[in-house]
Structure 1
C-alpha cells in the first residue's frame, strides 16, 4: 500500500502547547488495493498556531497528540470488543515513534462520520477484520513522521545535523556529545515545522515491538473490574428499564396493566410504544418485576403464521431461479453437462443469533436541546445519526460516549436497540439505562441469514473437477446496510468465499439469488464466508470421496498454483499428523477432517479430530489451525482470535439455530441456544506462518474455517455427509 504524506494546515495542528498530528486510515490492504487499482492516500498536515482549516485536503480520521510532558495519546475511531485493537494499534505507532508501548494511551474518538470514517467500510465502523489492515501503514507512517520532526527540532536547538541524532523511548540523543532531550521538550518547536514527505519506515528486521507477543493493555482493568462496558454505566437519578418487544415481526402492543406495574416497589414509570413496552425502576430487579406485573399482550399482525418451514420453502423456490452472476469463467453449466461424471448437492445453514455475553443496552439522557448516549457500539456515528433523526436534534447536539463492548460479532453494527432506547427516552423523566433481558436479546436479535445453496460439479475421467456451479440464495444484508455495495444484483458479502474459492477449475459460475423475508438479518462474525466456506469445503470433500482420494491429496492437486494456500494446508496437515489415524476413543467412532479458506486477506487451514458416540453425540477433541495472515503485529492476539473463532464457530455448527413457530422465535436463552462450555472446548493449536506481506484480518477467519473441518471429520467417522446445520439436527446414531 502506497501512502503519501501531504502538508496541510487542516491535519497537523499545534494545540495547547503540544503536537497534534492528524492522518487518514484508508482501510485498504494489499488485496483491496489490487482489486480497486486506486492507491489510498494518507495526509499529514502542517503546523498552525490558530488551528484554522483550509477548504482543501483530506480530513483526518486519527490523531496523535504529544504534550509538553511527552505523553503520547492516540485518538482513533476503532473500538475494542475483545479483538485486541487497543493493544495492536498502539504497537504500530510506538514502533515507529520510538516510544515504549506503555507510553501510548488510547482515547476513543467521538462520533463523527466525516472525520473518523473508514473509506473502505464506508463510515465510522469497526468490523470486517479491517482494523489492522486499515492502520498498518498509516499509523506507522504517522509515527515515523512525528519522530522525524521531533528529532529535527532537537537538532535545530543543538545546531547539529538530524542524522547525528537518534530517538529511543521518547528521548532524543546527540550521539557525539551525549546531549539528550525528551520529546516533550521539543514539541512546540516541532509543531512549527513542515511535515516531511515519504519518511522511510523500518524494515522487519529492525522491529522491536511488531511481531512480539505483548500482553494486552486492556486486560488488567477487565480482570479487576475497573473496565467500563455500556451495561456498567451509572448516572445520577438514573432509572433502569426492562424492555419487552412484540414477539412477532410486525406485531403491535395490545394491552398492558400499568397499575399493577406501578404498584411494584421501586417502579417509577411505564412507557408504551406501538410495538414495545418499558418499565422504568430504581433497579433492574424492580423493573423486571414491574414488567411481569404489566403482563403485556400482543396483536401478532400479518406474520402470525410464520414458521421455519414456510421460510425455507420460500428460499427453496427462489433457489430454482437463475441468479445474478458473481463469477463466470468459461461455460460451467455446459461443461458439467458434458462431463463423464456429475456431482450435485443442496446445502442449508440456519438463522443464527449473536448471543453476545453483554446483552443489548443503551443509556440515554434526553433533555432540552441535548441527547447523550452511553453505549458500546461498533458504529458510533450511526448511533449518533439515529438519535438525531428520532429527536430532531442536529448532530452536534447528540453526544455518544462509547465504551468497551462485551462482544460485538456484528450485532453492535446495528442501531435498532439504540433507536428503541431513544424512542422510549422521549417519554422518560430523567436519564434511563435500557437493558434487554437474555430472552429479549436472543428473540429480538438481527440474525445471520438462512442460506440455501445449490452446487454441482463436472468431473473428468480422473475425477478432477473441470466445471463448478454454485448458486447462493439468501437475504441481502448489504442492500440494507450499504446499498452502494450491491452492484448488478450481487451482494459482495453474500458471495464471499464462493466467488473467490481458491481451487484451480477452468469453468466456474457463481450466482446469487436475493430472497427476503420478514426476518431481520445482519452481519455475524464473517457472514458470507461463514456459510460459503462450509459449502465449498464440504463439497470439495464430496468430490474427493467420489474420486476415492484422500481429502488432503485431492486439495493439494487443485492448489498447486496457489502457494500460500498450499503452504497452510500442508502445515496444518503436518502438525495434525494427517498421515496417522486419529487417536481412538473407546466405544466411539473417530474421524479427522480438513478445510482451507481465503477470507479477509488471510490464508488458513484447519484440521479437526472428532469422536461420535453410539447415541450420536459429537465431541471435538483437537483442532489444528495454520494461518498466514501476513505480517503479524502481536502473535498472542492472533492465537487468541483463532481460539475464540474456533469455539464460536463450533457452538454454531454443532448446536445453534434460530427457528420460528407461529411467528415467534423458539429459542430464548443459553438453555436452548447452546454455547460451548469450557469442558467441551477442544485443544486448539495455532501455527502462524512467518511472513512480511501486508497484514490480513484475524477477527473472523477462525469462525468460518472450523465448520467444514468439523463436518468433514464427522463424515470420516460415520460415513454420513452433513448438508444441513446444525449437526445436532441430524441423527448420527450408530
Structure 2
C-alpha cells in the first residue's frame, strides 16, 4: 500500500539521521543532488468552506476577507497559535484578528525542518564545509520526511521562512490581481489592512480580489525588511486566552463524539511485568461495563513503560476506572523486577570508570605537560529521572469504523500518531483522520504515541463506537517515559592566574533518541545522540584545552524528551562546576565567566543585562548566576535565594534572553516565567526513584510541583536583536537549577551537587 511505502521511506531516512553526522553521507547519495523540496504548495487542497480561495498551501482568503491559515503546530500553552499567525499577518498586511486557524493536513510542506536540523551534534562555534553540508543534507531529509511535529522550541524558528513566504506570496498575487484589473503597474500598488491601494485613490479588498488572484503567478516571494515590520516585534495578546478563560477551549480530554464509551487501564505493578492472566467475568458483571480487553498484542515490546496491560470499557469513565482497578490479574515478572535507583547510579559509575565515551568536542590537550603540574579541581554531579507531570492527564479518543480511524487527541506529533493508528488498526494512513485539540501541557510527553496505540486497540473491540481512554495521575507518574537520570564527572586545572587551563568532562545517561526511534519506528539505536551531551559539549566558554565526552548506558527505564532535554541537567552540571572553579580561583562568578566570553559578545551582553537588572541582594539573601545557551537562544539568570527553617526559598529570578528577533515580547516573557517555574519544580522537588522495579512516587503529594506560595517574582529582559528567531519554549529551564545552587553555596557554603537540591 502507499502508506507502507511512505512509512518505509520515512524509516530509511530516520535511520540515516539517527546515525548523526555519520549518517549524512549515506543520505547524500542517490537523492542529495536533487533540489530541496519546496514548502509553499501542498499536495492536497486545504479543507476550506464558504467560498474561501486558497492562494497557496498555507492560506486562503474568504469572501468576508478572513484569512484562513493552516496550522501545523500544536498549542500547548507556548503561544504558537498567536506567534505563527503574526508571521503571516505581517507579510500579508492584515490585522492579526482577521486570521483564523484550521488544522493543517498531513502534508510534507508542514513538516518540521528546523527540529531535525538542530539535532546535529555540532558546536555552535564550528564552521566549515562539513557542518554546512550536514545541515543542508539534514534539512533536505527533513523536507522529504515531512514529519509534522511540535517540539525542540522550533515552531517559530521553522515557520519564520515558509509562513512569511506564504504571506508574501499571497500578497504579491493579490497586488497582481488588482494591477491587472486597474491596468496599472503592480509596483504602483501598496497593501494595507487587508486591501490593495493605488495612489489615485482606488482601493480593492482582498475578499474582492481573491478569485482573480488565484491565477496570478507571484514570482519569488519578497519578504519585508525588519525595519518595515508593524506587527512582528510588538506585544500582542494571546489569541487562546479568551476561550481558556470562558471555558470554551477544547482540550483532548474534552472530546465528546456521539455514542462515546470510556476506557481505563489496568497497568503492571512493576516496570516490565507482563500480563499472564486475568478474570473478566466479575468485571463484566459490574454496572456499565462493556468490555475487558488485553492490549498486550498491540503494544511495543521495547523502550516503553507499558509493554503489557488490560483495559476496561464502560459507559462512564468512573465506572471504567473502578472496574479496571478491581480486575483480578496475574503478572509475570519481567527483567526489571530488581531495578533500583541505587543500581542505576552504580552502573553509571562503573561505565564512567571503564568507558572513554564518545567525544562530542575536543580542543587542545587536556593532559599536556603544560597543564599537568597545575592545580586540579574535580567534582561529580548527578540528576534523577523526572516525570513530565502535565496537568491534563494522558488521554486519547479513537473510533474505528468501516475501515476508517478517527482520532481526537492532544498530541505534539500528529504525523506519528496517524502512522501508529494506521498500524494498530491495519489500515492505510490515508484512512486515518486526526483532530488535534489543545494540549493541557506537553513538555515532551505528548511526543509519545503510546496512548494512541492503546486507544485504537481498544476501539477495535468496540463495534464502531468512539472510545475515550484516560490515564489516572498515578498511572501517568508511574508509567511515564522519563527524563533520563545522569551522572557527570569534571576535572579541571587552574593556572597561576586563576584561569581554566584545561577542562575534562565525561557524563553518562541513557539515549532518548535511540529509545524513541525503537519504540515509534522500530529502528535500532546506533551512534552518538546529541541530546545526551547537549549543554556540556556546546558551551561558549573560551577554554584552550577541553574534552567533553559521553557514555550511553543501556537503560531498563524508558526515557523520553522532557522540556529542554539534555540541557535540563547538563546546564546544572556545567554551570555549577564553573562556579566551583571561580570559588577555587578566589574570583567572583560573574567576573570569572566574563573573562571567558571575550569572543562571544552576545553571551556577554546577556550575562551583563541579567546581572545589572538583578542589582544587589538584600540582607540574608544571596544571588546565584548561571549562563546557558540552548535551542539557539542565550539565557542568563540571577536567582535571589534565602534559607528559611532549613528550606531553600527562591524569592526573585531575573532572566535575560537573546532569542534573535523577538516576534512577540509578551509570549517570550510568559515562556521565560513558565520555564523558570517548571525548572524550579524539578530543582527543588522533582525526583523519580525505583525500588524492586517499582516507581516510588505516584502523585503531586510525593512528586511535588511548585505551589503558588513558593513562586518567585520573575523578571524578563529581552535583548534587542536582528538575528533569526531562535527557541523560546525551553531555554529558560536549564539555567535555573544551577543559579539556585550557586546562590545556596554563596549563602551557606554548602555545595549541592545532586538534584533535587536539599540542604538536609
2:636 pairs, out of 601, 605, 609, with 605
Deviation at 1:68, TM superposition (A): 3.7
Counterpart check, 1:624 vs 2:654: yes
Cα distance between partner residues in 1 of 2:334 and 2:169: 61
1:530 aligns with 2:530: no
Instruction: Determine if the alignment matches structure 1 residue 639 to structure 2 residue 665.
Output: no
**Change in 2 beyond 3 A, CA 1:490/1:186:** same
**1:193 and 2:216 equivalent?**
yes
Give 1:509-524 correspondences, 5 Å limit: 509-524=547-562
Measured in 1, the distance between the counterparts of 2:269 and 2:349 equals 26
Tell me the equivalent position of 1:29: none
Q: Does 1:87 align with 2:87?
A: no
Q: How does 1:199-348 map to 2 (within 5 A)?
A: 199=222, 201-274=223-296, 275-320=308-353, 321-334=355-368, 338-348=372-382
SS in 1 for 2:321: helix
The two structures have a TM-score, normalised by structure 1, of 0.88
Q: Which residue of 2 aligns with 1:397?
A: 431
Is 2:200 the counterpart of 1:170? no
Post-superposition shift, 1:671? 0.5
For 1:47 and 1:387, how far apart are their aligned partners in 2? 23
SS in 2 for 1:673: coil
8 Å Cα contact 2:488-2:505 kept in structure 1: yes
Query: Contact conserved, 2:172 with 2:221, CA < 8 A, in 1?
Result: no
Q: Residue in 1 aligned with 2:412?
A: 378
Deviation at 1:50, TM superposition (A): 11
SS state at 2:732 partner? helix
The equivalent of 2:611 in structure 1 is: 573
1:561-595 per-position Cα deviation (integer Å, ceiling 9, x unaligned):
21000001111111111xx3x2235xxxx321000
- Tell me if structure 1 keeps the 8 A contact 2:424–2:457: yes
| Cα distance, 1:342–1:364 mapped onto 2, change above 3 Å | same
Change (3 A) 1:219 1:43: same
Give yes or no for contact 2:515–2:558 (8 Å, CA) kept in 1. no
Q: 2:453 corresponds to which residue? A: 419
Q: Report the CA distance between 1:437 and its aligned residue.
A: 0.3
Partner of 1:75: 70
1:661 is aligned to: 691
Partner SS state of residue 493, structure 1: helix
- Identify which range, 328-337 or 656-665, moves more after superposition: 328-337
Write the distance in 2 (CA, Å) between the matches of 1:573 and 1:454: 29
Please say if residues 388 and 395 of structure 1, whose CA atoms lie closer than 8 Å, have aligned partners that are also in contact. yes
**Counterpart in 1 of 2:148?**
124
1:470 to 487, 505, 514: 505
In the alignment, the residues of structure 1 paired with residue 439 and residue 413 of structure 2 have an alpha-carbon distance, to the nearest angstrom, of 12
Query: Secondary structure in 2 aligned to 1:518?
Result: coil
- Please state if 1:457 is matched with 2:492: yes
How far does residue 77 in structure 1 lie from its aligned partner after superposition? 1.4
Aligned counterpart, 2:479:
444
Cα distance in 1 for partners of 2:193, 2:255 equals: 36
Give the drift of 1:406.
Answer: 0.8
- The structural deviation recorded for 1:632 is 0.4
Alignment of 1:497-508 (within 5 A): 497-508=535-546
Give deviations 1:499-548, integer Å, cap 9, x for gaps: 11110000111111010121100010111111111111000000001011
- The corresponding residue for 1:137 is 161
Take 2:98 and 2:363, find their aligned partners in 1: how far apart are those partners?
53
Q: 1:42 to 1:71 in 2, by over 3 A?
A: farther
Give distance in 2, aligned partners of 1:443 and 1:336.
Answer: 51
Q: Is the 2:40–2:165 contact (alpha carbons within 8 Å) kept by the matching residues of 1? A: no
Match of 1:18 in 2: none
Judged with a 3 Å threshold, the aligned counterparts in structure 2 of structure 1 residues 362 and 154 are, in CA distance, closer, same or farther, namely: same
Per-residue CA distance 1:437-476 (angstroms, 9 max, x = gap): 0000111110000111111111111121011111121111
Change (3 A) 1:395 1:703: same
* Preserved CA contact (<8 Å) 1:47 1:192: no
- On the 8 A contact 1:61/1:77 being kept in 2, the answer is no
1:680 aligns with 2:702: no
In structure 2, do the counterparts of structure 1 residues 47 and 609 end up closer, same or farther at CA, with 3 Å as the change threshold? Answer: closer
Structure 1 partner of 2:596: 558
Q: Is the 8 A contact 1:324 1:488 kept in 2?
A: no
Q: Aligned in 2, Cα 1:272/1:488: closer, same or farther, shift over 3 Å?
A: closer
Label 1:427 to 1:167 Cα distance change in 2 as closer, same or farther (>3 A): same
SS class of match (1:332): coil
Which position in structure 1 is the counterpart of 2:202?
Answer: 179
Counterpart residue number, 1:432 = 467
Contact 1:364–1:421 at 8 Å: present in 2 too?
yes
Whether contact under 8 Å (1:503, 1:559) holds in the other structure is: yes
In 1: Cα distance, 2:340 partner to 2:190 partner: 69
Deviation at 1:335, TM superposition (A): 6.0
1:110 aligns to 2:145 (yes or no): no
CA contact (8 A) 2:517 2:525 kept: no
Matched, 1:584 2:622: no
Equivalent in the alignment of 1:9:
none
CA contact (8 A) 2:40 2:57 kept: no
Q: Take 2:739 and 2:349, find their aligned partners in 1: how far apart are those partners? A: 26
Give, in whole Å, the separation in 2 of the partners of 1:347 and 1:619.
22
RMSD over aligned Cα atoms: 2.6
SS in 2 for 1:640: helix
Partner of 1:54: none
Any idea what the Cα deviations from partners look like across 1:247-267, whole Å, max 9, x if unmatched? 322212245443332333222
Q: TM-score, normalised by structure 2?
A: 0.85
Deviation at 1:295, TM superposition (A): 4.6
TM superposition shift of 1:395: 0.8
1:384–1:398 CA contact under 8 A, matched in 2: yes
Shift of residue 334, structure 1, vs aligned partner: 3.2
Aligned to 1:286, the other structure's residue is in SS state helix
1:150 to 167, 171, 174: 174
SS in 2 for 1:222: helix
